[in-house]
Structure 1
């Protein structure tokens, strides 16, 4: 049976992919920088390997018996002094080169929706630079472009818990974020598919207003929404670019750019955002 090398196994999506691979019984090498790094792995099909993808010497030989590499490697908030180019581009290049040396058949990479049209953004530029390299690598590939994660929506729930949600414009831009478990299923299914790019979102296309109302519903609160003129969104992006470094403005720039347009992708999955909000609202209350 094919062996999978999973990089980014300790992240939000990586954990869901590891669980899906385990359910399928697919032999997997899960990379982590340190132990304990991967929790709840009680499967004979999973081997945990210590490696730092930013240091290529730690990857030597890990892909020797591997058929497919899956990489969720990337950062939205800088840490350890590393930049987007250090992680989203160079670390993934380290993985790709090791895959080529080991004659790996396929490489699956998780990028972002509309990445090719947003190359001017700091975060997206690094990801798309790697996408270009992957397409020219000679390996089979799948590039997956999710329309945001449910985990990102926790910020909306946090605002609702504080009593008010702020939206830009009239709140009518639409998106359909996807749950990590549904996206993990797509990643695993793509192992046997031909080279392609997949843009995908969750089952429900929602306006920003509808997402805000869902958050208040989960908390049992009356909706309180304030609307900010769209010029304030653009002004915030410009201000961060001028007065802060890429390490600070990168995630703000990426997030606020996405909030100023529709982001709709082909729908997939069974996990609903309202249920996700309900679960997280309950978890928070139980920990009080």
Structure 2
């Protein structure tokens, strides 16, 4: 396997990608703002490189000799004042420009399932704008569209720890979130695929009610699920957009919107959400 660069290496998925790289004994570069967060990873074939993707000058020459770039770069919970356009779009665009300049063969980007149908959301607007740039770059590419990470399901777990899980509607909408280790394998498999888009989810398709029950069970709580009228979900989206800054409403807007429909993709992997919940409350 030729040299691979992983951008966003310290994030939830990024760390699993670095682990997969080492497991395959492949040569690679892990790009991160803080390489100290990669201290647990040790391999003679792995370079840990400090890079700030929002500053293109920090990327100069870093991708020379790289065959494939895998980017998971994006904001989940904003902390430093940067916007989705700053990171999900522009930081990835800076990385893409450097990849083109370095003669990289392929660029793999992790977006989100149905992102192209949710461009009214700030996070999806930025991600899909970058997808358009990638499609027009001239590079071979694959866009990975997962249903959601196991780490995203911690919102259910945080509610469960307080004794109740609140859902909008009847809780029958379904999704199959995927574990980072399983998704990392999908990303590496994509290195040699001809597919330009891959939709993927975990092995279990679950309703919101089932996820809530799992979260309560793992938290040692009685099953208490409160179903709220769906109009409150819509009203909440409007409220946070009106009265809160983007760094606050962005994740809430996405979560509330995604809860309104099924987020189901072809099943892959072996990791179970219930096991993740139990591991998370230890």
Q: TM-score, normalised by structure 1?
A: 0.96
Describe the SS at the equivalent of 1:203.
coil
Aligned positions of 1:99-110 closer than 5 A = 99-110=99-110
- Tell me the distance in 1 between the aligned counterparts of 2:73 and 2:185: 18
- In the TM superposition, what are the counterparts of 1:75-224 in structure 2 within 5 Å? 75-224=75-224
Give the distance between the partners of 2:52 and 2:240, measured in 1 at CA.
Answer: 31
Q: CA RMSD in A?
A: 1.0
Q: Secondary structure at the match of 1:143?
A: strand
For residue 280 of structure 1, report the CA deviation from its aligned partner.
Answer: 1.6
Q: In structure 1, list runs of 5 or more residues that go unmatched.
A: 284-288
Listed one character per residue, the Cα deviations across residues 61-80 of structure 1 (whole Å, up to 9, x for unaligned) are: 00111000110000022232
The 3-state SS of whatever aligns with 1:37 is helix
| Separation of aligned partners in 2, 1:149 and 1:182 | 10
Aligned to 1:237: 237
1:205-284 correspondence runs (5 A): 205-281=205-281, 283=282
Q: State the alpha-carbon separation in 2 of the partners of residues 212 and 205 from structure 1.
A: 13
Report how many residues are paired: 282
Give the conservation status (yes or no) of the 8 Å contact 1:140–1:195.
no
Instruction: Measure how far apart 1:161 and its partner are.
Output: 1.2
Question: TM-score of the superposition, structure 2-length normalised?
Answer: 0.98
Aligned 8 A contact 2:35 2:49 in 1: no
Provide the residue aligned with 1:286 in structure 2: none
Question: Is contact 2:176-2:205 (8 Å) kept?
Answer: yes
Shift of 1:195: 4.2
State the 1:221 CA deviation.
2.5
Stretches of structure 2 that go unaligned for 5 or more consecutive residues are: none
